[in-house]
């Protein structure tokens, strides 16, 4: 390898160019005299141009913000007493026009006497005001986002419970009427009322489930369960709904060894969310569910593959498919009524269970979800 050797003059030029390019202020403190020398950029940062290139510790201290001074001096003295290899502090300093800017000040002792007493210290400082303002804006935006989430949670929870109470009454009375009413026309209307109430109840359950997951009210409670039994029950549960749309729903079991240590309630919600989504967006054909088991990186996973022949999802929309209140195409809201919460809930549950989810889709051909649940959580 060819190595270029530079003269001392060239090295000095390279050093100066680097300092200029980085817009760093340089300072050099002679502790024996108290004099602090600095380069032009150091003065420019504070708005002092064509003025003295020397000052002392007292004049520097007078520029440091009162709220920051104690911490800065503590860090400086800690370094001078051998407590740290490097002195570094972020603080506000007053400029010539009276404004406050943020400075990152870094340096180290570069010369000591025979007893180890510091004689000279050198360092740099740079203007980090824009960075600090960006951090402040970020913190304010985060606080605002947290407040919006808090209000959203309270509002959705209140609305959900306010709707839930009368809805239970509607479902109860409509169930009774379905058994007692004999008139065909009246019976058909009652069926519509019952079906609408069930649909609304499902949506409210989704909102409530989402809120519970976000507020960490759902904490996984691992126990020994048979995943095959859970999946079989879900297929049986959704068969009437799929038949209403003339869809098939089949279960193929490749590996019957599906005993895992996981949370049954969360898995039921997970399966309900994905299968319901597949049926909703499938107009012909059906849904095929495959159950298998794989080993990955020394860990055992149960694999649930849910494949439909539905409308599919454009590749550009796959990235936000698990977002809250989102559908693959917002224009589908009118045709396929829904909250856009099902897949978001499924994704959050999979994270809670330390699982994985993959999604593959082709527009017009269908979508395939592959859920991998660890044998032990």
pLDDT, tens only, 350-366: 988 899 999 999 999 99
The two structure tokens encoding residue 68: 């920051």
DSSP 22-63: HT-EEEEEETTTTEEEE-HHHHHHTT--SS-SEEEHHHHHTT
pLDDT of the residue at 221: 85
What whole-number percentage of the chain has pLDDT above 70? 85
Averaged pLDDT score across all residues of the chain: 84
pLDDT of the residue at 83: 92
pLDDT, tens only, 170-204: 888 888 988 888 888 888 888 888 888 887 777 77
Per-position b or e across 10-33, b if 16+ CB within 10 A of its CB: eeeeeeeeeeeeeebbbbbbebee
pLDDT, tens only, 25-38: 889 999 989 899 98
Q: Looking at per-residue confidence, does 209 or 96 come out higher?
A: 96
Provide the whole-model pTM: 0.52
Q: Say whether pLDDT at 146 is over 90.
A: no
The dihedral sign for the CA sequence 232, 368, 374, 252: positive
């Amino acid at each position: 390898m060819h190595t270029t050797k530079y003269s001392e003059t060239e090295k000095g030029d390279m050093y100066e160019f680097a300092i200029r390019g980085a817009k760093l202020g340089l300072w050099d403190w002679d502790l024996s005299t108290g004099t602090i020398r600095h380069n032009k950029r150091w003065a420019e940062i504070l708005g002092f141009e064509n003025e003295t290139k020397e000052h002392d510790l007292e004049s520097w201290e007078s520029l440091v913000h009162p709220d920051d001074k104690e911490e800065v001096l503590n860090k400086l003295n800690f370094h001078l007493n051998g407590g740290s290899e490097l002195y570094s502090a972020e603080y506000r300093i007053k400029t010539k026009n009276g404004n406050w800017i943020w400075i990152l000040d870094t340096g180290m002792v570069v010369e000591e006497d025979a007893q180890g007493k510091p004689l000279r210290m050198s360092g740099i400082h740079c203007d980090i005001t824009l960075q600090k303002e960006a951090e402040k804006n970020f913190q304010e935006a985060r606080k605002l986002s947290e407040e919006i989430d808090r209000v959203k949670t309270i509002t959705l929870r209140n609305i959900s419970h306010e709707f839930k109470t009368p809805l239970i009454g509607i479902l109860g009375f409509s169930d009774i009427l379905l058994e007692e009413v004999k008139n065909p026309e009246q019976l058909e209307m009652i069926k519509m009322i019952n079906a609408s109430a069930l649909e609304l109840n499902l949506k409210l359950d989704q909102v409530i489930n989402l809120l519970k997951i976000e507020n960490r009210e759902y904490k996984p409670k691992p126990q020994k369960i048979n995943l095959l039994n859970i999946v079989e029950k879900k297929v049986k549960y959704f068969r009437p709904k799929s038949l209403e749309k003339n869809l098939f729903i089949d279960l193929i079991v490749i590996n019957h060894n599906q005993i895992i240590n996981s949370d049954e309630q969360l898995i039921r919600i997970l399966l309900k969310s994905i299968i319901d989504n597949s049926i909703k967006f499938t107009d012909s054909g059906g849904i095929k569910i495959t159950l298998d088991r794989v080993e990955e990186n020394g860990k055992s996973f149960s694999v649930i593959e849910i494949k439909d022949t539905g409308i599919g999802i454009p590749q550009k929309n796959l990235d936000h498919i698990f977002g809250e209140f989102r559908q693959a195409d917002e224009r589908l809201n009118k045709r396929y009524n829904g909250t856009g919460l099902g897949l978001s809930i499924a994704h959050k549950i999979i994270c809670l269970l330390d699982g994985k989810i993959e999604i593959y889709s082709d527009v017009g051909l269908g979508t395939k979800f592959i859920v991998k649940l660890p044998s032990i959580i």
